Amino acid sequence: MLAATAVVPPATANGADPLPSWNDTAAKQAIVAFVETVTKEGSPDFVPVDERIATFDNDGTLWAEQPMYFQLLFALDRVKVLAPQHPEWKTNDPFASLLKGDMKTALSGGEPAIMQIVAATHSGMTTDEFDQIVRDWIGTARHPVTKRPYTEMVYQPMLEVLTYLRDNGFKTFIVSGGGIDFMRPWSETVYGIPPEQVVGSSGKTDFLMRGGVPVLMRLPEINFIDDKAGKPVGIHEHIGRRPIAAFGNSDGDLQMLQWASGGGGRRLALIVHHTDDIREWAYDRNSSIGHLDKSLDAARDNGWTVVDMKDDWKTIFPFGDKRD
Amino acid sequence: MLAATAVVPPATANGADPLPSWNDTAAKQAIVAFVETVTKEGSPDFVPVDERIATFDNDGTLWAEQPMYFQLLFALDRVKVLAPQHPEWKTNDPFASLLKGDMKTALSGGEPAIMQIVAATHSGMTTDEFDQIVRDWIGTARHPVTKRPYTEMVYQPMLEVLTYLRDNGFKTFIVSGGGIDFMRPWSETVYGIPPEQVVGSSGKTDFLMRGGVPVLMRLPEINFIDDKAGKPVGIHEHIGRRPIAAFGNSDGDLQMLQWASGGGGRRLALIVHHTDDIREWAYDRNSSIGHLDKSLDAARDNGWTVVDMKDDWKTIFPFGDKRD
């Protein structure tokens, strides 16, 4: 049946190809064969609509993550905006180096330095205020290389997969190491994924009445890190069902891919491999951003689908590619 | 406009009354007026479909909670089943008293004793195994007073509200102090609420590969208590939008009702007041289960809707009432 479905071109109800930005290679055929099999009534691998859950990593899977995670670029922009209220930052690292434009020294403190930057820029306001800060930034900030809005730095072939799955009864979720409240203000417009279907890392919040008005204050404390073994935990907590399809691009997605593919029955586990240094970026085993090593080995050992961006994608971004 | 809509009988598309188990009193009129107003295009209080979020407490709001929380009855049943594997329980309280049927001594240890019982019965297995344990129990256990399955101890008028809201484009969520994984196995069948729309208290889980198979192990550690000020926190974490309608019955729901009603625009905050000792149970300010004191005062001060079960509901349970 696999062979039979693989040679039939994928089609939507009106006969159009639902994945026009994909070359007709093994990756596209695997996606189409999976969707056709699990949606075919009477098939031994048929999955009822309610259980058609698909989870997507965000950074490097739905949108780009070079030259660094976009949420970190947001945090750096916020440090500049907030600096006048924090004279002590002039002398204290990582802030002092950041404000001097010396990114290398600023980030040399590793994860603790990054957490300091995140805490200083992501807490101390209400959830409604943070929502507005993110909306303002995402509506005006530009990617340092392409000068495009970040919301255009999304992968056209993956947008097509999201729509194709939803057209076939799937519920699509983001499951990202990124901040849940950083993604929610724009996930519905950009991906068609509503806030309640976004799973991500989060800080603690505190409910209180402020002058008679109920608010949720964002605290400088980690609540949950939705990465690596945290991804199946976050999926269980938020969704309460096991995905039958999962999409990632790095070692941070390994456990999500294991969890989704280990459920019995027909499953799709897919890795986006960044192989195109001309149209996008090329990086994997030696990269700190989007580090892809164990997951690539696991893909080979388990027969997961690996997308070779260079060969499998006709188009990268809705506007073209990095050079446009 | 409120007066005008209040005198028009509520109707579904085919003209039938969507709330037939409700007497035509102020509570029913408030629900109908709210739904008609927020769904009327062009109304200043119109709410787009995506933002029509309604949250429901479970114990005492959607199903009964007397003579004690049903999840506690589940835990007690599990203690009996597991006792042969725990010879030490014969001498250690709260287990020793429980097994002798002396509930009063067993629960005299208060919250720490209850947490011991919950930890012993809700952890140490995989999430899939716990799901099956709950399914087996809910399919066979009977309520001590009515001898009915617990899934029939649900309020018929509230089932009608759930359907009425969904028919009007609302997404309905459970937001309960009860265990998230205790509710999910049956919430879809009983309430039409899928697992991903259930918010509740949870324990920590740990992802690991067990003999090559990915599992989530349930740990004897609290992850989140979805009660009181935890309810708005849980709502924000899981849903990421503020409800425009919230339904509760106790002081555990106060902050959820404040959060929902404090969002600006037309809102519905509703409290189920247990006033019918003949057909159900009557309890409020002096009850430890379903303690309703501050929320009742807040309802009066803020003009929230209070359902007087005795006067407002024609029917209590789908099968009738406590005496049937």
pLDDT at site B38: 98
Last residue of a domain, one of A113, A140, A167: A140
pLDDT at site B221: 96
Last residue of a domain, one of B118, B140, B162: B140
User: Considering only CB atoms, which chain A residues are within 8 Å of B194?
Assistant: 50
Is residue A264 very low, low, confident or very high in pLDDT (cuts 50, 70, 90)?
A: confident
Residues 6+ apart with CB under 8 A from B91: none
Least CB–CB distance from B238: residue in A188, A216, A238: A238
Is residue A244 very low, low, confident or very high in pLDDT (cuts 50, 70, 90)?
A: very high
pLDDT at site A218: 98
Q: Is A245 helix (H, G, I), strand (E, B) or coil?
A: strand
Alpha-carbon span A274 to A270, nearest angstrom: 13
Tell me the whole-structure pTM to 2 decimals: 0.95
Query: How does DSSP classify residue B222?
Result: E
pLDDT at site A15: 75
Flag if A171 and B259 touch (Cβ within 8 Å).
no
Does residue B146 belong to any structural domain of this protein? no
Q: Are residues A96 and A125 in the same domain?
A: yes
Alpha-carbon span B257 to B155, nearest angstrom: 20
pLDDT at site A263: 83
User: ipTM score of the complex?
Assistant: 0.94
pLDDT at site A12: 58
Alpha-carbon span A316 to A323, nearest angstrom: 11
Note the pLDDT tens digit of each residue in A173-207: 999 999 999 999 999 999 999 999 999 999 999 99
DSSP-assigned states of every residue in B130-175: HHHHHHHHHHH-B-TTT--BGGG-B-HHHHHHHHHHHHTTPEEEEE
Q: Are residues B63 and B75 in the same domain?
A: no
Flag if B195 and A241 touch (Cβ within 8 Å).
yes
Q: Are residues A88 and A158 in the same domain?
A: no
Mutate to test the interface with B, among A135, A210, A236 (most CBs of B within 10 A): A236
Does residue A234 belong to any structural domain of this protein? yes
Flag if A196 and B171 touch (Cβ within 8 Å).
yes
**H-helix segments, A61-199:** 70-82, 95-99, 103-107, 110-122, 127-140, 156-167, 180-191
Using an 8 Å CB-CB cutoff, list residues of chain A that contact chain B.
50, 53, 127, 171, 180-181, 184, 188, 194-198, 202, 205-209, 213-214, 216, 223, 229-230, 232-233, 236-241, 255, 258-259, 262
Q: Are residues B203 and B165 in the same domain?
A: yes
Note the pLDDT tens digit of each residue in A68-104: 999 999 999 999 999 999 999 999 999 999 999 898 8
Mutate to test the interface with A, among B196, B204, B215, B221 (most CBs of A within 10 A): B196
Mean pLDDT of A210-214: 94
Note the pLDDT tens digit of each residue in B222-271: 999 999 999 999 999 999 999 999 999 999 999 999 999 998 899 999 99
Flag if B237 and A207 touch (Cβ within 8 Å).
no
Mutate to test the interface with B, among A128, A219, A237, A254 (most CBs of B within 10 A): A237
Q: Is the peptide bond before B67 cis (omega within 30 degrees of 0)?
A: yes
Residues 6+ apart with CB under 8 A from B230: A207, B177, B201, B224, B255
The alpha-carbon gap from A214 to the nearest alpha carbon of chain B, in Å, equals 6
Last residue of a domain, one of B107, B140, B173: B140
pLDDT at site B297: 98
* Helices and strands counted in chain B (H then E): 13, 7
Q: Are residues A130 and A188 in the same domain?
A: no
The alpha-carbon gap from A234 to the nearest alpha carbon of chain B, in Å, equals 10
Alpha-carbon span A222 to B136, nearest angstrom: 37
Burial B38-53 (b: 16+ CB within 10 A, else e): bbeeeeeeebeeebbb
Least CB–CB distance from A233: residue in B205, B259, B262: B205
Residues 6+ apart with CB under 8 A from B39: B46, B47, B52, B168, B169
Flag if A240 and B198 touch (Cβ within 8 Å).
yes
- Which is nearest to A176 in space by CA: A58, A73, A61, A64? A58
Return the structure tokens found at B95: 């287990």
Can you give the residue range of the structural domain that contains A248? 23-66+153-312
Return the structure tokens found at B284: 């409020």
Note the pLDDT tens digit of each residue in A103-157: 889 888 888 998 899 999 999 999 999 999 999 999 999 999 999 999 999 999 9
Cα separation values, A68 from A64, A82, A298, A317, Å: 9, 21, 25, 17
B173, closest residue in chain A (CA to CA): A196
User: Considering only CB atoms, which chain B residues are within 8 Å of A197?
Assistant: 196
- Which is nearest to B122 in space by CA: B174, B74, B160? B74
Exposed / middle / buried, residue B8 (Cβ in 10 Å: 0-12, 13-18, 19+): exposed
B231, closest residue in chain A (CA to CA): A207
Using an 8 Å CB-CB cutoff, list residues of chain B that contact chain A.
50, 53, 127, 171, 180-181, 184, 188, 194-198, 202, 205-209, 213-214, 216, 223, 229-230, 232-233, 236-241, 255, 258-259, 262
pLDDT > 70: what percent of chain A?
Answer: 96
Does residue B219 belong to any structural domain of this protein? yes
Sheet strands side by side (includes B245-248):
B213-224, B198-210, B171-179, B53-56, B245-248, B268-273, B305-308
- Written as one letter, the residue type at B199 is V
Least CB–CB distance from B202: residue in A195, A207, A237: A237
Q: Are residues B202 and B289 in the same domain?
A: yes
Does residue B324 belong to any structural domain of this protein? no
Q: Are residues A294 and A178 in the same domain?
A: yes
Mean pLDDT of A251-257: 98
Alpha-carbon span B250 to B291, nearest angstrom: 5
Mutate to test the interface with A, among B52, B129, B181, B216 (most CBs of A within 10 A): B216
Q: How many CB atoms lie within 10 A of CB B114?
A: 16
User: Considering only CB atoms, which chain B residues are within 8 Å of A259?
Assistant: 207, 214, 216
User: Considering only CB atoms, which chain A residues are within 8 Å of B196?
Assistant: 53, 171, 196-197, 238-241
pLDDT at site B12: 58
Radius of gyration of chain A measured on its C-alpha atoms: 21
For CA atoms A66, A69, A74, A75, give the dihedral sign.
negative
Q: What is the mean pLDDT of chain A?
A: 94
Q: Are residues A36 and A126 in the same domain?
A: no
Least CB–CB distance from A196: residue in B214, B233, B239: B239
Total structural domains within chain A: 2
User: Considering only CB atoms, which chain B residues are within 8 Å of A206?
Assistant: 229, 233
The upper half-sphere exposure of residue A187, i.e. CA atoms within 13 Å in the direction of its Cβ, equals: 29
Does residue A214 belong to any structural domain of this protein? yes
Does residue A8 belong to any structural domain of this protein? no
Q: Are residues B205 and B276 in the same domain?
A: yes
Alpha-carbon span B25 to B31, nearest angstrom: 10
For CA atoms A30, A31, A34, A35, give the dihedral sign.
negative
Instruction: Report the CATH number that the domain containing residue A282 is assigned in CATH.
Output: 3.40.50.1000
Query: Which residues does chain B have with pLDDT short of 50?
Result: 1-8
pLDDT of A2 over the 50 cut: no
Q: Is B218 helix (H, G, I), strand (E, B) or coil?
A: strand
Alpha-carbon span B224 to B213, nearest angstrom: 27
Return the structure tokens found at B14: 């085919």
Q: Is B36 helix (H, G, I), strand (E, B) or coil?
A: helix
Flag if A239 and B205 touch (Cβ within 8 Å).
no
pLDDT at site A20: 98
pLDDT at site B14: 66
Mean pLDDT of A16-36: 97
Least CB–CB distance from A236: residue in B171, B216, B241: B216
The upper half-sphere exposure of residue A1, i.e. CA atoms within 13 Å in the direction of its Cβ, equals: 12
Least CB–CB distance from A195: residue in B194, B216, B240: B240
Does residue A2 belong to any structural domain of this protein? no
Flag if A196 and B240 touch (Cβ within 8 Å).
yes
Flag if B196 and A195 touch (Cβ within 8 Å).
no
Q: Are residues B293 and B212 in the same domain?
A: yes
Does residue A265 belong to any structural domain of this protein? yes
Flag if B196 and A236 touch (Cβ within 8 Å).
no
Q: Are residues B133 and B195 in the same domain?
A: no
Give the angle A190-A191-A197 at the CA atoms, nearest 5°. Answer: 125
Flag if B196 and A50 touch (Cβ within 8 Å).
no
Flag if B259 and A188 touch (Cβ within 8 Å).
no
pLDDT at site B83: 96
User: Considering only CB atoms, which chain B residues are within 8 Å of A240?
Assistant: 180-181, 184, 195-196, 198
- Which is nearest to A161 in space by CA: A256, A232, A247? A247
Alpha-carbon span A17 to A40, nearest angstrom: 18
Flag if A233 and B196 touch (Cβ within 8 Å).
no
Return the structure tokens found at A57: 């990593």
pLDDT at site A189: 98
Q: Are residues A61 and A107 in the same domain?
A: no
